[in-house]
Structure 1
Amino acid sequence: MKRLLLLFFSVFSILQAKAQFPIGGASTRVTVVGKVSATIVDSLSNKPVDYASTSLVRISDNKAINGAVSDEKGKIAIQNVSPGKYKLTIGFIGYTTKVLTVTTTPERPDLNLGTIKLVGTSNNLAEVTVTGQKALVETKIDKLVYNAEQDVTVAGGNASDVMRKVPMLSVDIDGNVSLRGSSQVRVLINGKPSGTMANSVADALKMIPAEQIKTVEVITSPSAKYDAEGSGGIINIITKKKTAQGVSGAVNLSAGTRQNNGNFSLNTRQGRLGVTSNVGVQYAIPQDTRVELLNENYNLNTTLQQSGTTKSKRWGGNGNVGVDYDINNYNSLSTSLKYNRFETGNDGVLGVLSRAGNNQSSFARESNSEAAMSNFDWTADYRRTSKREGEEFSVSGQASFGRNVNDFVTRYVYPNTAAMEIIGDNTGKNNEYTLQSDYTYPFSKSVILETGLKGISRNIESKYQDTEQDFDYGQDVAAAYGVISFKLAKKLSFKGGLRAEYTNINGTAGSTLDFKNDYFNLFPSAIVSQAFSQRTTLKLSYNRRMQRPSLFYLNPFLDETDPENKRQGNPALNPELTDVLELGYSTFIKGSMINASVFYRNTQDVIESVFYPGQKLTSYFNVGTSKSYGFNTFASYNPLPKWTLMGNLSLNSYEVMNPTTNESTGVYANYTVFMRSAIGFTGGWNTEIFGVYNGARRSFQGTTGAMAFYGGALKKDIMKKKATIGVNVFNVFARDLHIETRNESAEFLQTTNIYYPIRSFGVNFSYNFGKINFNAPPKKKSIKNDDLKQGEQQMGGQMGGAGQG
């Protein structure tokens, strides 16, 4: 760790010296700044025009200073405007662009332009009434953006429910996320990780109410600026935040047969100081889940059948508070505190029928498991810009403290015999410290250099009832990167870079395993983009990524909730290394959008679960090398101005070659289909139906059966659009969703049939109060720890995976 910190601060000093603009407040001249405000309306109807874009350009040097987007009342407020003469440009689809000259002075830094009327274009006036609705899906050069706040069917659900509807993503019933067939993805919240993710992404996603989510960004070709982790890509969930002057807030309540949520947020901004806060709770109503398990060992000629029901429970709470302060026009500080707690449990009774040759016996297995996870995150960020547009220097720090408890009790109840009981408990902590610095320098508008350094120190401790199984794991990561982007031609752009990461690992597991490992890797990335027009783009990208195993895969705790299907981590795992080549195309044609991509992915040291019938144990190993080909197609179409149809198809091949045996799993196809229809009516009514079908998915030893999800929602704006009320339904035609997982070889057969109670009905209500303004300040730099492979399923010792989705 000392070497890591020394390396970081040495290079940090060099980077700081090369920034070539003052950091200390003493040498910074504090400039009087103000704002330019106005109200944008339609020239014919005098109705507000929301989502109109405005930009302010300084006339003296023709440089863009700031911009804003009008809110639902047509109001804009462009902040941090120094005294001077500017050109204000206002534009929106269906209207003629308007340009005004404005002047602010030190004596009058704030300028209100009053009402500005936009004139509709002659060939597009019929569409003016619907263009204020932001598109549900947007494509950008390096990512796809799903605007969840525009989706009326997400109310009452959680982040897992939202993810099921995002193009290119698929989510299984436990909430595990895959991107284009790869589970090696990194999930961030507002660009930052949470210690909860180190245990299980599925559980962490269930802690986020859907109503809190603003957008979901899917990044398939991350540049070298991002951590090398996440070989399948990066998913960034952006939550709703208010940045208005004054006080604003929101209340969201959802009640239903499957899940109940409550959330309250309060935000205030006075001058340069802003405070945001949020608190939320959730509770899932326990329901019976039918479970059928089968284990056959061909070598021993034994069969074990288990069938019965389990009842799952789940509840959680979270809260956060953040403070940001603009010291002056070029310097800003921000900090935040976040805490969450999540608890799950399962109680079940299964009847067991055991056969060994001609002998047969029957008994009952009773089980109870409890899991609790809590996490506290503290972040602090400093950001400095300069008079050179685009130049930026930032320093960020984060400390994360996670705690988890897993307990289980299993009782075998035999006829006329005393019951046998197995007890297990595991308590652990996961502490993580991060320091990061980034610097961006624009040589010109088209040539931009990005550099940065990062250091991460992790320590995981896991204690057991049996002290001989204690696990102590340390991991230090040091990284540096450089990225440059420039124009190769007028419409041909390039962005490429190189990231270097050094990882040092040491730890002990019990009294027999003491391990130490370190490795150094280089991660190149490149993307070439050709713009054929403002609406049509073709891009070719390459990047190399890594997937380090997280606590879920490493923890050697032996979970014996079901002694016939035990589970244990493997601390000796190597990281995965992946090379990805992708060709993508996107175009907009008369209100319709098409986004398509094809890719090739090569992964070494693939981490997957392996079942050993002789030990009745599932653990994790580097099973081999995977070569995968695939494509994704997303399209949206508007048959009528307020009617939107969209669909997504993802397909990829699956094959793993084991280098030890030189045997292949064979080539299989994994695919996902998504369809959606949404209609808006006059009077503030909105309705939507959707359907998702995940085809059967192949794994190293077996297959997980297909899954279908579908639902609908109806929402009404009330109280002058300050509030909404709605109803939603999910899988209404069947109470249960049947999922079969089948693992087999020449030695054994293992099947798990789960009948999840998934049908649900719900109502939801949301209310916004205070002054609402969508004009956000410049985005703050932040920590992005995206370097750990996450758990495949939720923790907590569920009976054969019998947790409730």
Structure 2
Amino acid sequence: MKSYSLLIAATLLAFSLLTPAQAQFPGMGGAAQPKALPGTAGDQSPKGSAKLIGTIVDSTQAKAVEFASIALYNKATGKAVDGTVADDKGKFALTKLVAGEYRALITFVGFRNKTIDNLVLANGQSLDLGVIKLSSAVKTLEEVTVTGQAALIEEKVDRLVYNADKDITAKGGDATDILRKVPMLTVDLDGNVSLRGSSNIRVLINNKPSTIVASSVSDALKQIPADQIKTVEVITSPSAKYDAEGSGGIINIITKKNSLQGLNLNVDSGVGNRGSMLSLNGSYRKGKAGFTIGGFGRGIYNTITKTNLDQTSEVNGVSTLTRQTGNGTSRGLFGQYNLGFDYDLAKNQSLTAGVRYGVRNMISPQDLVTQLFTNGTPSSISYRNVDTRNLSGTVDANIDYLHTFKPQQEWSISTLYSRNDLTNNFNADLLNSTGALTGRQKNLNGNVNQEFTVQTDYQTPIKKNQLLEFGAKGILRQVNSNYEYLLAGPTGEYTTEKNGTRGALLYHQNIAAGYTSYTYTTKQRYTLKGGLRYEHTFIDASTEEKGTLGIGNYGVLVPSVNASKTFKGTTVKLGYNRRIQRPGLQQLNPNFNTANPQNITIGNPTLRPELTNNFEVGLSKTIKKTFINATFFGRVTNNAITQVRQPSDTLAGAIVTTYQNIGRQYAYGTNTFANVAITSKINVGLFLNAFYTSLTGQTTNADGVAEDLTNTGINVSGGTFANAQFGHGWGAQAFGFMQGSQVQLQGTQGGFGFYTIGIKKDINNKKGSVGLAAENFLSNRFNIHTVLNSAQFNQVNDVYLYNRGIRLTFTYKIGKMTMDAPRKKAKSVNNDDVKSEGGGQPAGGGTPGGGTPR
């Protein structure tokens, strides 16, 4: 450890020689220091033996206010006689003071000034002011704090922050239950997330990526317990500091962290008719070192889905009508376990390390009955029992180092290794009309997605109102997919003969990136944040069948500009950025998934990235107790990665879904929401998302003929929520959401609704709580009606979901803690990267469990 510390010290010394002279940056959270106050270095004022000490904290969060300014004034003359700045624990001390009467002024950006009068000091005396609480200011230089709603929504120059830790209905649920309530986001019933109608988003967890998110956003969200989420950041206009990935934007989920000294253990549990959960999280902190350990397990059951499918296809002059019904269930176990360590190497240096393991075990059996009509005449009927297994195990390990030179001046090095072993298999039994087994099918698909990332970031203030940031990043990523399609008779071994197949994909994707970003804030409350990022991607891909795929390397230059102006309680924002969307594992995977042979899915390993230009204008205003935000946006995407469906030329009546870089997408719309603080303990919110979309492109149909595709329409969604706090620890919450039909390239996907209410009672001086929540309790089921079509096929799909639910939750905190000031932690890797399976576009009826096909 000694040699390691020496190495770090030598590196930091060399690096510090390159840094500009130190300067405060109050506009970005630093503190304005008193100028040449008497009693400071270089001043020759009389010295005494009195002393003044104290600790400054945030009145709302009981956390230390780092680097607040303290000025001491002579009460008689009104002149400043001394001053200092609090340390990173909020503590300060003024020494060698002359006896007399004084007043102290304490200031920090984002807080109201605090004056302490009638301070009488005597020689040799040490006067302790104790804990001094600063109240948050309603208005700050860079953001609008929602009056009466600060605990719910914050509006910043490049993002919206939704504070989720007040949600009492989500206990016992997962991250999807929280994200459904975040303005601008839409979460369908499979957990697929979209932002302003775009599913091409990047989801981070505590500013970190994970290969499990890269594989499937919806599956990853099911592994995050809702009651462990502190905030959700919706970054609609990412700066150059963020990876260029995610054409729709970035969602950053921040989980709850502990800055207490001592030992504690939190127990969260819930049981319901459709799911149960248990979570144990503990932490121990002593001095410079801290340890965290935790585990979360969730089981789902009694999830019933029924499907009806009518689809017509025409190939080579032969018309085939498919009528299919399906009855399915889903059950699964999800877990996440973590171990963390952090250590303060010095007062301004910290080292953080952690390991997280996530597991998913999802099983979806389904019984399918399929009847085919050829040119109007019944031709066959088949029975099929399918068992689909979606399993994964994910490991994330990180080591991060941070050196803080002074407020807003810091340098960090971050590393991350992430690996996801993903299995997506199915077994199918083929039956005749009497129920006798006539054959068997099996698809084995094992995937390994692993990546290693290293990045370094440096930021420094320039003068008092500017911030400069720059950094570099490298990602080494490898995807392996091995797949087999096996056949067997009623008995005997499986074989790849008789149209059975096997294959493999090897996909290397390495990325080198560099960026610079500049922020400028004026006294008139103008904020300008601009940046430039360059990323170069190196690809080496091959399949067992086709050999090297010959996908070329490519580079992209990504500019971003964000501006805001605050005046009289109103904030206006302008933003522009360019984004890139690389294909994800599910889009690339060439496995031929025939769990439902009438709706086949297959990836495309030759996909190229898509490029998107985003524009937005936002307006936020506080009117008495009401906060209103309206954003108008435009999005133009070239080379869009889109699901394309066409009839199979080998299997009668089947529709094949794949992915292609096809055409261009336009979207223009608005996101509007309002929060009303009816009283200090009751608030109500409303939100509405509406946009017009136009999709165009060209594909080749089953007959080898080029087909032009165009579709336009309006997408609308919205909802409302209400929160109330009552006496004696009681609280209540309600939420409702409705999603209208969504325009797709080849039709429309049906809408859906969701609602929930809950109550909670705090017990034992808020050490624990008991809650009850119910969802979709007014109806037994609801229908998602999807219509897809082209010149060669027409598909009508009805999925009936039975998700009426109720759950009882219990939480309790064990342990004794003392408050410690929050410390600067080492920054972590942000891989805002690769497109996920988040389209939320069911490819037709009969997919196992009724969910989105994989």
Q: Same fold (TM over 0.5)?
A: yes
Q: Counterparts of 1:496 and 1:690 in 2: how far apart (Å)? A: 37
1:156 paired to 2:175: no
Q: Counterparts of 2:258 and 2:342 in 1: how far apart (Å)? A: 13
The TM-score, its normalising length taken from structure 2, stands at 0.82
Q: Counterparts of 2:427 and 2:506 in 1: how far apart (Å)? A: 25
Q: Counterparts of 1:222 and 1:101 in 2: how far apart (Å)? A: 49
Structure 1: tracts of 5 or more residues without a match:
1-11, 23-33, 42-48, 68-76, 122-129
Contact 1:740 1:754 in 2 (8 A): yes
- Correspondent of 2:692 among 634, 649, 653: 653
Range moving further from structure 2, 789-798 or 485-494? 789-798
Q: Counterparts of 2:14 and 2:56 in 1: how far apart (Å)? A: 45
Task: Tell me the CA shift for residue 197 of structure 1.
Answer: 1.1
Post-superposition CA distance 1:234-280 (Å, at most 9, x none): 00000111111111231110111122111111111111111122111
Q: Counterparts of 2:508 and 2:451 in 1: how far apart (Å)? A: 10
- Correspondent of 2:360 among 342, 347, 352: 342
- Correspondent of 1:330 among 323, 348, 351: 348
Which residue in the other structure is 1:304 paired with? 322
Contact 1:436 1:453 in 2 (8 A): yes
Which residue in the other structure is 2:427 paired with? 409
- Correspondent of 1:456 among 453, 475, 479: 475
Q: Helix, strand or coil: the match of 1:721?
A: coil
Task: Tell me the CA shift for residue 91 of structure 1.
Answer: 9.7
Which residue in the other structure is 1:526 paired with? 561
Q: Counterparts of 1:111 and 1:251 in 2: how far apart (Å)? A: 42
1:89 paired to 2:128: no
- Root-mean-square deviation (Å): 3.5
Q: Counterparts of 1:428 and 1:334 in 2: how far apart (Å)? A: 30
In 2 relative to 1, CA 759–88 (structure 1 residues): closer, same or farther, beyond 3 Å? farther
Post-superposition CA distance 1:70-128 (Å, at most 9, x none): xxxxxxx637999999967389999984458999xxx99x996446689999xxxxxxx
Which residue in the other structure is 1:57 paired with? 69
Which residue in the other structure is 1:711 paired with? 756
Aligned AA (2:677): N
Aligned AA (1:752): N
Which residue in the other structure is 1:469 paired with? 503
- Correspondent of 1:681 among 702, 715, 726: 726
Q: Counterparts of 2:339 and 2:21 in 1: how far apart (Å)? A: 32
Contact 1:320 1:337 in 2 (8 A): yes
Which residue in the other structure is 1:18 paired with? 18
Post-superposition CA distance 1:364-397 (Å, at most 9, x none): 111111121111111011111114x311111001
Task: Tell me the CA shift for residue 777 of structure 1.
Answer: 1.9
Contact 1:260 1:283 in 2 (8 A): yes
Contact 1:343 1:372 in 2 (8 A): yes
Aligned AA (2:476): S
Which residue in the other structure is 1:45 paired with? none
Which residue in the other structure is 1:427 paired with? 446
Aligned AA (1:675): T
In 2 relative to 1, CA 772–655 (structure 1 residues): closer, same or farther, beyond 3 Å? farther
In 2 relative to 1, CA 646–119 (structure 1 residues): closer, same or farther, beyond 3 Å? closer
Contact 2:698 2:709 in 1 (8 A): no
Which residue in the other structure is 2:517 paired with? 483
Q: Counterparts of 1:281 and 1:335 in 2: how far apart (Å)? A: 23
In 2 relative to 1, CA 40–577 (structure 1 residues): closer, same or farther, beyond 3 Å? closer
- Correspondent of 1:623 among 653, 662, 667: 662
Q: Counterparts of 2:332 and 2:841 in 1: how far apart (Å)? A: 12
- Correspondent of 1:760 among 797, 805, 808: 805
Q: Helix, strand or coil: the match of 2:219?
A: helix
- Correspondent of 2:245 among 224, 229, 239: 229
Q: Counterparts of 1:437 and 1:297 in 2: how far apart (Å)? A: 54
Q: Counterparts of 2:387 and 2:827 in 1: how far apart (Å)? A: 44
State how many pairs are aligned.
753
Which residue in the other structure is 1:693 paired with? 738
1:517 paired to 2:552: yes
Contact 1:19 1:393 in 2 (8 A): no
Which residue in the other structure is 1:254 paired with? 270
Q: Helix, strand or coil: the match of 2:346?
A: coil
Range moving further from structure 2, 785-794 or 441-450? 785-794
Aligned AA (2:395): F
Q: Counterparts of 1:90 and 1:156 in 2: how far apart (Å)? A: 42
Structure with bigger gyration radius? 2
1:275 paired to 2:275: no
In 2 relative to 1, CA 492–418 (structure 1 residues): closer, same or farther, beyond 3 Å? closer
1:541 paired to 2:575: yes
In 2 relative to 1, CA 380–606 (structure 1 residues): closer, same or farther, beyond 3 Å? same
In 2 relative to 1, CA 439–90 (structure 1 residues): closer, same or farther, beyond 3 Å? closer
Q: Counterparts of 1:471 and 1:506 in 2: how far apart (Å)? A: 11
Which residue in the other structure is 1:604 paired with? 638
1:210 paired to 2:222: no
Post-superposition CA distance 1:505-553 (Å, at most 9, x none): 11111221422320011000011211214x3211111100011011011
In 2 relative to 1, CA 501–583 (structure 1 residues): closer, same or farther, beyond 3 Å? same
Which residue in the other structure is 2:831 paired with? 785
In 2 relative to 1, CA 589–13 (structure 1 residues): closer, same or farther, beyond 3 Å? same
Post-superposition CA distance 1:700-726 (Å, at most 9, x none): 112111111111000111111111111
Structure 2: tracts of 5 or more residues without a match:
1-11, 23-51, 72-80, 98-102, 138-145, 486-500, 650-654, 700-705
Aligned AA (1:753): D
Q: Counterparts of 2:410 and 2:21 in 1: how far apart (Å)? A: 10
Q: Counterparts of 2:318 and 2:524 in 1: how far apart (Å)? A: 70
- Correspondent of 1:800 among 847, 850, 853: 847
1:505 paired to 2:539: yes
Q: How does 1:517-596 map to 2 (within 5 A)?
A: 517-533=552-568, 535-596=569-630
Range moving further from structure 2, 595-604 or 774-783? 774-783
In 2 relative to 1, CA 525–119 (structure 1 residues): closer, same or farther, beyond 3 Å? closer
Q: Helix, strand or coil: the match of 2:813?
A: strand
Post-superposition CA distance 1:393-447 (Å, at most 9, x none): 1100111111011211122212478612221101121110000000001112211
Aligned AA (2:322): L
Aligned AA (1:733): L
Task: Tell me the CA shift for residue 336 of structure 1.
Answer: 0.6
- Correspondent of 1:437 among 426, 442, 456: 456
Q: Helix, strand or coil: the match of 2:757?
A: strand
Contact 1:477 1:501 in 2 (8 A): yes
Q: Helix, strand or coil: the match of 2:553?
A: strand
Task: Tell me the CA shift for residue 804 of structure 1.
Answer: 6.4
Q: Counterparts of 1:120 and 1:189 in 2: how far apart (Å)? A: 27
Q: Counterparts of 1:149 and 1:318 in 2: how far apart (Å)? A: 19
In 2 relative to 1, CA 21–407 (structure 1 residues): closer, same or farther, beyond 3 Å? farther
1:381 paired to 2:400: yes
In 2 relative to 1, CA 487–179 (structure 1 residues): closer, same or farther, beyond 3 Å? same
Which residue in the other structure is 1:72 paired with? none
1:315 paired to 2:350: no
Post-superposition CA distance 1:285-339 (Å, at most 9, x none): 1333212122211442211111131111111111111111111122111111110
Q: Helix, strand or coil: the match of 1:162?
A: helix
Which residue in the other structure is 2:303 paired with? 287
Aligned AA (1:766): T
Contact 2:262 2:286 in 1 (8 A): yes
Q: Counterparts of 1:528 and 1:794 in 2: how far apart (Å)? A: 33
Q: Counterparts of 1:319 and 1:120 in 2: how far apart (Å)? A: 36
In 2 relative to 1, CA 349–492 (structure 1 residues): closer, same or farther, beyond 3 Å? same
Aligned AA (1:325): Y
Between the aligned residues of both structures, percent identity stands at 35
Task: Tell me the CA shift for residue 763 of structure 1.
Answer: 0.6
- Correspondent of 1:395 among 413, 421, 426: 413
Contact 2:352 2:825 in 1 (8 A): no
Contact 2:57 2:134 in 1 (8 A): no
Q: Helix, strand or coil: the match of 2:592?
A: coil
